[in-house]
């Protein structure tokens, strides 16, 4: 490698980013050591200083490596560090830094209070970043930030937040295009107004009773978990929508017209039926529909889905290409009167793939009739997967039902499969 021109060596070594490898390269030769200032990215793993000996501290070692680099654009630090160390590094890097990712490790409140200024406050020195990712952070007080005018991507994972503190964080990032809040607890009422936001993923940990109000005219992708009340003001660009609540009940959904929506996923233990029916009505042009809601009901009592007319459902969703119907949704389509009056001209025009989850042998005749109807009227159907999930019954009806499904699969083996 030493026979290569200096420019080639510099280019190859500039793609090394693990700090341990960087330190090793400096010991190989003077030519290799002289290439280190041209690094663009630097990564400090979680355990890099576990066996540290001598008088140097992790903060000082990181500072030494960073100070030898001319123009560092990306810094990822998973190892422990202090607020003083962080402030020192970011002040040195200045405007060259574009991407910053930190494992903060200050989610426990008494740890955060020991550092003044806080680690979160120190991030203001990285005012020119375009991407900021924070892990394990406590945001119960508003950070002392100026505006991050170039920040386009913000990710906060595993955090404790307060409503007002999060609001101030987002106000300091007015040009965000991507926002991810994952595994965040402590939020009760969240209001987001970001005019340039295109992608948003919100995962709120807790009782599932958070309130969300979102205004983002350019929003294309939205995933929400853990909210009972959701309002999205402008939805003309929204293409992909996923709403779930693993802990609580989804009570109210309030969206604008979903004219561009292509994919809708609704999941959870319990949704109010008004919320489900409203989502299905608004998503009339959807191409992919995933439904995994176990129960409905406006109060604590868990109720089954009401009957859904098979013909009306597919007539109201003419562009539907892929349909995932789990448990309660499939059962609702299999009610006694669902297929009573089917017009001879009825077809399901666009359906290509169906995934059905069956949990109970009850109403076996209606369920088989629905499966057969999907095959009969789905003129472009290419694949049907039937998932038999946790079907428990000591009655012989379970065996009979399973035999019927197996025979159905055997006679339509090119399309139907069983899992």
Element (H, E) at 183: strand 178-185
CB distance 359 to 322 below 8 Å: no
Mean pLDDT of the chain: 89
Mind listing the pLDDT tens digit for each residue in 351-377? 999 999 988 888 888 899 999 999 999
pLDDT confidence of residue 23: 74
The pLDDT value given to residue 31: 66
Note the pLDDT of residue 412.
95
Q: Which range (176-185, 236-245, 327-336) has the least confidence?
A: 327-336
177 contacts 155 by C-beta, under 8 angstroms: no
Question: Tell me, what's the pLDDT at 52?
Answer: 77
What's the pLDDT tens digit per position in 392-403? 665 667 788 888
Q: Give the predicted TM-score (pTM) of the model.
A: 0.90
Write out the two tokens for 325. Answer: 């119907």
| 339 pLDDT higher than 80 | no
Show Cβ contacts of residue 260 under 8 Å, excluding neighbours closer than 6 positions: 235, 236, 237, 238, 239
Residue 169: is its pLDDT beyond 80?
yes
How would residue 122 be classed by pLDDT, with cut points 50, 70 and 90?
very high
Closest CA to 167 of 199, 189, 186, 195: 189
In whole angstroms, give the CA distance from residue 343 to residue 341: 6
Contact 251, 273 (CB under 8 A): no
The pLDDT of residue 355 is: 96
Confidence of residue 277 (pLDDT cuts 50, 70, 90): very high
Residue 401: the pLDDT is 86
Residue 44: beta bridge partners?
A: 77
Confidence of residue 1 (pLDDT cuts 50, 70, 90): low
Lowest-pLDDT choice from 17-26, 133-142, 257-266, 391-400 = 391-400
- What pLDDT was estimated at residue 418? 92
Alpha carbons within 13 A on the beta-carbon side of 127: 11
pLDDT in tens, 206-245: 889 999 999 999 999 999 999 999 999 889 999 999 999 9
The C-alpha atoms of residue 220 and residue 239 are separated, in whole angstroms, by 5
Sign of CA dihedral 257, 322, 332, 309: positive
Q: Are 418 and 409 in contact (CB under 8 A)?
A: yes
**Cα 224–Cα 133–Cα 144 angle in degrees, nearest 5:** 100
Measured CA to CA in angstroms, residue 316 lies from 214, 262, 283, 409 at distances of 27, 14, 9, 28
More confident residue, 392 or 330: 330
pLDDT band at 108 (very low <50, low <70, confident <90, very high): low
- At residue 346, the 3 state secondary structure works out as coil
- Cα–Cα distances in Å, from 268 out to 174, 190, 193, 243, 251? 32, 20, 26, 8, 12
Mean pLDDT to the nearest integer, 69-94: 90
Confidence of residue 107 (pLDDT cuts 50, 70, 90): low
- Predicted pLDDT of residue 110: 45
pLDDT the model gives residue 261: 96
Q: Centre a 10 Å sphere on the Cβ of residue 108 and count the other Cβ atoms it contains.
A: 11
With CA atoms as reference, report the closest residue to 310 among 278, 273, 347, 256: 347
Ramachandran angles phi, psi of 370, nearest 5°: -65, -45
What number is the average pLDDT over the span 187-208?
95
Supply the pLDDT for residue 70: 83
As given in the structure block, the two tokens for residue 153 are 């991507």
pLDDT at 302 over 80: yes
What does the pLDDT read at residue 114?
Answer: 53
Instruction: Name the residue with higher pLDDT: 18 or 96.
Output: 96
Q: Find tokens 């654009």 and name the residue.
A: 73
pLDDT score at 231? 97
Burial 375-387 (b: 16+ CB within 10 A, else e): bebbeebeebebe
Tell me the torsion sign for CA atoms 358, 361, 363, 368.
positive
Q: Which of 166-175, 281-290, 332-341 has the lowest mean pLDDT?
A: 332-341
pLDDT for the residue numbered 115: 56
Query: Token pair for residue 129?
Result: 């970043």
In contact, 284 and 316? CB cutoff 8 Å: yes
**Does residue 64 surpass a pLDDT of 60?**
yes
């Amino acid at each position: 490698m030493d026979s290569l021109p200096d420019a080639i060596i510099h280019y190859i070594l500039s793609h090394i980013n693990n700090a341990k490898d960087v330190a090793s390269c400096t010991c190989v030769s003077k030519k290799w050591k002289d290439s280190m200032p041209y690094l663009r990215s630097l990564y400090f793993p979680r355990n890099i200083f576990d066996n540290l000996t001598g008088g140097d501290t992790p903060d000082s070692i990181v500072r030494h490596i960073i100070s030898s680099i001319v123009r560092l654009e990306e810094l990822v630090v998973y190892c422990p560090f202090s607020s003083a160390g962080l402030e020192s590094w970011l002040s040195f890097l200045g405007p060259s830094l574009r991407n910053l990712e930190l494992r903060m490790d200050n989610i426990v409140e008494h740890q955060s209070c020991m550092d003044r200024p806080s680690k979160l406050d120190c991030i203001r020195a990285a005012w020119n970043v375009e991407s900021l990712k924070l892990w394990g952070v406590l945001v119960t007080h508003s950070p002392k930030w100026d505006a991050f005018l170039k920040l386009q991507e913000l990710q906060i994972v595993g955090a404790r937040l307060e409503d007002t503190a999060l609001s101030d964080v987002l106000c300091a990032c007015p040009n965000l295009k991507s926002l991810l809040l994952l595994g965040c607890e402590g939020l009760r009422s969240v209001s987001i107004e970001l005019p340039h936001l295109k992608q948003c993923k919100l995962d709120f940990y807790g009782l599932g009773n958070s309130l969300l109000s979102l205004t983002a005219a350019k929003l294309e992708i939205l995933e929400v978990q853990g909210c009972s009340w959701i309002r999205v003001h402008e939805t003309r660009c929204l293409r992909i929508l996923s709403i779930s609540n693993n802990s609580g009940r989804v009570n109210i959904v309030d969206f604008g017209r979903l004219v561009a929506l292509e994919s809708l996923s609704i999941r959870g233990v319990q949704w109010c039926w008004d919320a489900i029916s409203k989502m299905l009505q608004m998503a009339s042009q959807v191409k992919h529909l995933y439904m995994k809601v176990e129960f409905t009901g406006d109060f604590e009592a868990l109720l089954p889905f009401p009957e859904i007319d098979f013909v009306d459902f597919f007539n109201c969703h003419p562009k539907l290409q892929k349909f995932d119907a789990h448990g309660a949704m499939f059962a609702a389509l299999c009610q006694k009167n669902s297929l009573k009056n089917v017009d001879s001209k009825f077809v399901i025009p666009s359906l290509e793939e169906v995934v059905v989850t069956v949990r109970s042998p009850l109403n076996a005749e209606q369920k088989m009739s629905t499966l057969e109807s999907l095959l009969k009227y789905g003129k472009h159907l290419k694949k049907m997967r039937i998932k038999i999930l946790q079907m428990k019954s000591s009655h012989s009806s379970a065996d009979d039902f399973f035999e019927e499904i197996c025979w159905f699969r055997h006679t339509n083996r090119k399309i139907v499969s069983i899992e």
